[in-house]
Structure 1
């Protein structure tokens, strides 16, 4: 049974006459009559009762007409839904973030803006490390991700820089450098804290996120230290930056994190800026597939990059 059989059948049912139905369908009457006969043969019952001046539906034909009309309604609705999926108006986006990316206010704000603009797109959110993100995206298990600085940049993935912020040192309250610089706990940031030169950290024990998890930024930090004549001693490797800050709070060592993370554990640690001539940054990237096949993911990428451009735009001076 073909859709044209159903369309011909419903047109005859509406017109109650083969001549008018044929004219409406822009075909000749004999081929139309033949198509209806083929339909009746396939169904195994008559759909029309022939009258002297037209036709009328048989009881079985009337029941079948309801089914046929429902088929066309479903097809129309299915077409509308498919178009919305193709346009990225509905669908599903699988998003992953690293813990430090999730801590930056741009990330939740951009996702919230996307959710507000596209409430019919389902968002699946997961938090994993950078290495896991790259692997999952290469295998097609994630549509988009926000991370800092990956060590690997496979050719099939696209990396868009959303934002850059400075890195800050994290010292436990009462640390010798903190005391010597006149720092205090609970300051709520680095605004009133004197910068620390990297060379002053030569004897410190460092806590780093495991290299496979966040290799990029720590590689930059290690190179910066080596340029100052020492290689930082890594005492602990941890799975996430928040864990590193927790360990700093216990006095286990020091670490370095993006500045946006200085809202965490302010009563137990001190966040210190790096001396300006030695400062380095923590980028925030959006990662997507170069050959993205998910229209909703493409729409998400456009929304996030547009949002980041607005976020990074300089504030105009007051008149």
Structure 2
């Protein structure tokens, strides 16, 4: 029995391989038909078609029953592996399609907020099959990073983006800001601080495009343009500058609990500022793992 040329062959179907495995397991066309829930003649026809396609016999048939040929035994081992791989591929693809597997890239500052890492850790525990990749988010080019696909999502204030078209900010909430400084800063021990006390000292802010973020962080800049602004590439550098006593910084109140001892928070009379922060992502990002991540945040009320 000779196989036809590639152009003459009938495409092999997965069902033929399933039927072959069933016959090989049971060594009976009748039992294989029962197992596959098809008529016995259909099994016989499909096995014959498969053997014709291959160009060699898979079974030796006699009045005593059915036996695998030497070629059939090897084919059985290989086909069983192939079918297992196909089933795993189906399951893996389905898991990714439903956000149960796959991967998600999250942008974080080099010295990210503790609350951000807590969210990531809880999500990792809930969905261990989803791979999480952390990428460094830089304030000045965060919009560019998102649009280029450097990461799927990152916590960020909308006002840090000059062009929000095509972007979405999930679960955005407004959080009050607090003034922090190093323990060695001249204002660290001064009682009853006011906004006027802050003016002589540099104000540290993330280096975002435009001035919206700086104005939202320090509202008094509108009346005091003479104040020196120190722009940091990201939050980690901003904290380092503040630790060295180079200036004061305003951070969300939720960050205060995670500060090192070198940082202290001060109440400042007349300072009233808040910042809206959400999970920034491309509105058309169709990564199922991202959708699962955002749903998780919503379900957990994080």
Q: Please, what TM-score do these two structures have when normalized by structure 2?
A: 0.78
**1:53-202 correspondence to structure 2 within 5 Å:** 54-99=65-110, 102-103=112-113, 105-149=114-158, 150-171=160-181, 181-182=190-191, 194-197=192-195, 199-202=196-199
**1:20-35 correspondence to structure 2 within 5 Å:** 26-27=38-39, 29=41, 32-35=43-46
Structure 1 partner of 2:289: 296
CA contact (8 A) 1:89 1:120 kept: yes
CA contact (8 A) 1:98 1:146 kept: no
Structure 2 partner of 1:314: none
Count of equivalent residues: 288
Q: Residue 64 of structure 1: CA displacement?
A: 1.5
Q: 1:235 and 1:133, CA in 2 relative to 1: closer, same or farther beyond 3 A?
A: closer
Q: 1:275 and 1:153, CA in 2 relative to 1: closer, same or farther beyond 3 A?
A: farther
- Write out per-residue CA displacement over residues 69-119 of structure 1, whole angstroms, 9 at most, x where no aligned residue: 33222222222222222222222211112357x22x321221111112122
Counterpart check, 1:287 vs 2:299: no
5+ residue gaps in structure 1?
A: 183-193, 312-319
- Write out per-residue CA displacement over residues 24-75 of structure 1, whole angstroms, 9 at most, x where no aligned residue: 553572x654433332233232112221365332222222223223322222
The equivalent position to 1:7 in structure 2, one of 18, 40, 51, is 18
- Write out per-residue CA displacement over residues 173-211 of structure 1, whole angstroms, 9 at most, x where no aligned residue: 5766556x42xxxxxxxxxxx3523x4544444343323
CA contact (8 A) 1:167 1:273 kept: no
Question: Matched residue of 2:21: which SS?
Answer: helix
Counterpart check, 1:220 vs 2:216: yes
Structure 1 partner of 2:6: none
Q: Please, what TM-score do these two structures have when normalized by structure 1?
A: 0.74
CA RMSD in angstroms, aligned pairs only: 3.3
Counterpart check, 1:209 vs 2:206: yes
CA contact (8 A) 1:148 1:283 kept: yes
Question: Matched residue of 2:228: which SS?
Answer: strand
Q: Name the CA distance, whole Å, in 1 between partners of 2:102 and 2:285.
A: 14
Q: Name the CA distance, whole Å, in 1 between partners of 2:244 and 2:47.
A: 84
Q: 1:142 and 1:201, CA in 2 relative to 1: closer, same or farther beyond 3 A?
A: same
CA contact (8 A) 2:107 2:155 kept: yes
Q: Name the CA distance, whole Å, in 2 between partners of 1:242 and 1:112.
A: 20
Q: Name the CA distance, whole Å, in 1 between partners of 2:61 and 2:109.
A: 72
Q: 1:274 and 1:18, CA in 2 relative to 1: closer, same or farther beyond 3 A?
A: same
Q: Name the CA distance, whole Å, in 2 between partners of 1:252 and 1:18.
A: 84
